């Protein structure tokens, strides 16, 4: 039976290195939290919960992760994973008004008396550190203030109690009054799973905010245009929600400090904002698994510090901009499952590139010979395109290559011996092309499925070549 504990009975959760105010603490907290609940299910389907996460976890490539299932099914579920490290995830709720004057004993009494007195069951002891005899800025887990007693961080990751076998889920909405915490630098409400409603435009008033993390919830509606006022923002995580609509055109106009953007796993549409070229400090751009359309901005070459470009599983069309070749720090490019056309750019300047994923598009032309100079390349996946020409023999220079997957194209000619015998090669999947000749002797025991669908190809692991 589902055990439901009203959020007022459980809101004083265990906080991480979070923070709230040593100040006019929760003026409207009773009203703002009265509808919140924490649910403790009798059973949680952890497999189902993992499916909701922004990225499936499939081991591959030296700590990079992507789903290797379904090679000839187009690698449709290929996803990149990065793990962002946060402090301890024990946190408290997203409280209402907090002022900047000193500690207010009457408001602490309000929380203790009117909120905690309503508790009838607190099996996870989420209120354990919230004691009216202690200073909320010092003793209350998940609350931290600056030396003047002003809130600077409010961090709330999903609640995972060490007491309960299963996680608790917070149900509720984000209060617009958070916009009054004008000294806030970090707001982390990620992984609450059942946090619903829209993102309040008032969060755009948090002019000192450097990190905003709302990922892994059920937030809907659009991204507020007021976010363009967050000029000090360094990290923005809104991934794995139900957000829709277009991203405001000028939202990034004044965010030159932004280093990480993750808007993936939503229902966002329209074009990639033109203001993205202003993000000169950006290292990671993740927009995958949305409905973005239009082309990749040619000005993407201005993002000189970009390391991760992940735009897979959208409706993006047009050419891959040649300006990408300017990004010398680029480590990973994920453009799979879009509507991209034209040839693959030479990527001459991308000497740090390790992962190049281009499957399930409409790309044509030859595999660039210049790829033979990408000495750090670990994975090249271009399945299900319209590529022609031969496999360049200078790919034998790719001594670190582990995954070479170019099935379902129109490649012709013979398989270069030096490529199929690369020392670290784990997958050499060239099925359903127009390759001919004898498969070169190779040390790795590759299955026949890696080569099938090439009528002119023969020898182990395929049937022997016919002799005349």
Predicted pLDDT of residue 328: 95
Question: 34-43, 271-280, 301-310: which has the minimum mean pLDDT?
Answer: 34-43
Confidence (pLDDT) at 418: 96
pLDDT at 155: 75
pLDDT of the residue at 349? 87
Residue 337 domain-assigned (yes or no): yes
Total count of domains within the chain: 2
On whether residue 39 sits in a domain, the answer given is no
Average pLDDT over residues 103-125: 37
For 368-399, how does the pLDDT look when each residue is reduced to its tens digit (9 = 90+)? 999 999 999 999 999 999 999 999 999 999 99
Average pLDDT, the chain: 76
CA distances from 112 to 20, 71, 139, 252 (A): 16, 57, 14, 42
> Is residue 408 scored above 60 in pLDDT?
yes
Asked which of 53-57, 279-283, 292-296 is least confident by mean pLDDT, the reply is: 53-57
Q: How many CB atoms lie within 10 A of CB 388?
A: 15
Query: In this structure, are 328 and 407 located in the same domain?
Result: yes
The pLDDT of 85-103, averaged and rounded, is 35
Same-domain status, 115 and 227: yes
Same domain, 224 and 331: no
State mean pLDDT over 26-52. 38
Per residue in 197-211, pLDDT (tens digit) is: 999 999 999 999 999
pLDDT, mean of residues 4-32: 32
Query: Are residues 462 and 346 both part of a single domain?
Result: yes
Q: Which residues pair with 80 in a beta bridge?
A: none
Tell me: do 317 and 454 sit in the same domain.
Answer: yes
Q: Is the pLDDT of residue 454 over 90?
A: yes
Predicted local confidence at residue 37, as pLDDT:
41
pLDDT tens digits for range 215-247? 999 999 999 999 999 999 999 999 999 999 999
Q: Residues 330-353: pLDDT tens digits?
A: 999 999 999 999 999 999 889 999
- 266 and 316 inside one domain: no
- Over 90: is that where the pLDDT of 468 sits? no
Candidates 443, 418, 448, 417; CA nearest to 430 is 448
Q: Which domain holds residue 224?
A: 107-270+279-284
Question: Which CATH number goes with the domain that contains 353?
Answer: 3.80.10.10
Co-location of 350 and 462 in the same domain: yes
Q: Is 82 within the bounds of a domain?
A: no
Residues 258 and 385 in one domain: no
Does 421 score more than 60 pLDDT? yes
* 100 backbone dihedrals φ, ψ, rounded to 5°: -120, 0
Residue 38 lies inside a defined structural domain of this protein: no
Confidence of residue 87 (pLDDT cuts 50, 70, 90): very low
Backbone angles phi, psi at 3, to 5 degrees: -95, 120
Pairing of strands 434-438, 412-413: parallel
Q: Is 227 among the domain residues?
A: yes
Map residue 403 onto helix, strand or coil.
Answer: strand
**Domain membership flag for residue 441:** yes
Question: What share of the chain has pLDDT > 90, as a percent?
Answer: 56
Q: Look at residue 101 and tell me if it is in a domain.
A: no
What tokens appear for 142 in the block?
Answer: 């998940």
Range from 171-175, 177-181, 258-262, 456-460 carrying the lowest mean pLDDT: 171-175
Dump pLDDT digits (tens) for 118-168.
Answer: 333 333 454 566 577 777 677 666 667 777 777 788 776 665 444 545 555
Q: Which of 42-51, 133-142, 322-331, 354-363 has the lowest mean pLDDT?
A: 42-51
175 or 289, higher pLDDT: 289
In this structure, the answer to whether residues 317 and 263 fall within a common structural domain is: no
Claim to verify: residue 256 and residue 328 sit in the same structural domain: no
Q: Is the domain of 249 the same as that of 380?
A: no
According to the model, what pLDDT value does residue 412 have?
A: 98
pLDDT of residue 347: 92
Residues 205 and 324 in one domain: no
pLDDT of residue 171: 67
Q: Is residue 66 part of a domain?
A: no
Query: How high is the pLDDT of residue 120?
Result: 35
What are the CA-CA distances from residue 201 to residues 175, 177, 254, 266 (Å)? Answer: 10, 10, 17, 18
Q: Which helix (H) or strand (E) holds 457?
A: strand 456-458
Measured distance CA(158)–CA(297) in Å, rounded? 36
């Amino acid at each position: 039976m589902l055990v439901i504990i009203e959020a007022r009975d459980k809101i004083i959760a265990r906080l991480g290195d979070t923070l709230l105010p040593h100040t006019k603490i929760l003026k409207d907290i009773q009203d703002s939290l009265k509808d919140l609940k924490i649910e403790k299910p009798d059973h949680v389907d952890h497999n189902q919960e993992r499916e909701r996460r922004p990225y499936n976890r499939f081991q591959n490539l030296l700590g990079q992760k992507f789903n290797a299932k379904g090679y000839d099914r187009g690698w449709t579920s290929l996803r990149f994973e990065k793990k962002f490290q946060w402090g301890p995830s024990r946190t408290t709720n997203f409280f209402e008004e907090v002022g900047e004057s000193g500690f207010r004993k009457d408001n602490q009494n309000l929380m203790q008396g009117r909120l905690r007195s309503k508790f009838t069951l607190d099996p996870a002891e989420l209120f354990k550190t919230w004691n009216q005899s202690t200073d909320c800025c010092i003793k209350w887990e998940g609350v931290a203030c600056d030396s003047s007693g002003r809130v600077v961080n409010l961090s709330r990751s999903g609640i995972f109690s060490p007491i309960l076998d299963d996680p608790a889920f917070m149900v509720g909405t984000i209060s617009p009054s958070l916009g009054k915490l004008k000294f806030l630098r970090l707001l982390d409400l990620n992984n609450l799973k059942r946090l619903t409603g829209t993102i309040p435009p008032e969060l755009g008033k948090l002019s000192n905010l450097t990190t905003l993390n709302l990922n892994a919830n059920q937030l809907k509606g659009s991204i507020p245009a007021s976010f363009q006022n967050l000029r000090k923002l360094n990290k923005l995580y809104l991934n794995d929600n139900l957000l829709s609509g277009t991203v405001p055109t000028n939202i990034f106009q004044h965010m030159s400090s932004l280093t990480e953007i993750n808007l993936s796993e939503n229902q966002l549409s329209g074009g990639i904002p033109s203001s993205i070229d202003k993000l000169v400090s950006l290292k990671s751009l993740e927009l995958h698994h949305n409905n973005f359309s239009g082309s990749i901005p040619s000005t993407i070459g201005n993002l000189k510090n970009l390391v991760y470009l992940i735009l897979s599983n959208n409706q993006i069309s047009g050419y891959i901009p040649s300006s990408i070749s300017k990004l010398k720090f680029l480590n990973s490019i994920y453009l799979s499952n879009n509507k991209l056309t034209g040839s693959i750019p030479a990527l001459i300047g991308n000497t740090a590139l390790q992962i190049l994923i281009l499957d399930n598009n409409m790309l044509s032309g030859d595999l660039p010979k210049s790829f033979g100079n990408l000495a750090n390349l670990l994975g090249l996946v271009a399945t299900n395109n319209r590529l022609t020409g031969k496999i360049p023999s200078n790919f034998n220079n790719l001594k670190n290559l582990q995954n070479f997957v170019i099935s379902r194209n129109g490649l012709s000619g013979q398989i270069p011996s030096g490529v199929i015998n690369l020392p670290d090669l784990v997958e050499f999947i060239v099925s359903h092309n127009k390759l001919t000749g004898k498969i070169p002797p190779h040390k790795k025991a590759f299955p026949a499925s890696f080569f099938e669908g090439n009528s002119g190809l023969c020898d182990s692991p395929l049937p022997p070549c016919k002799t005349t």
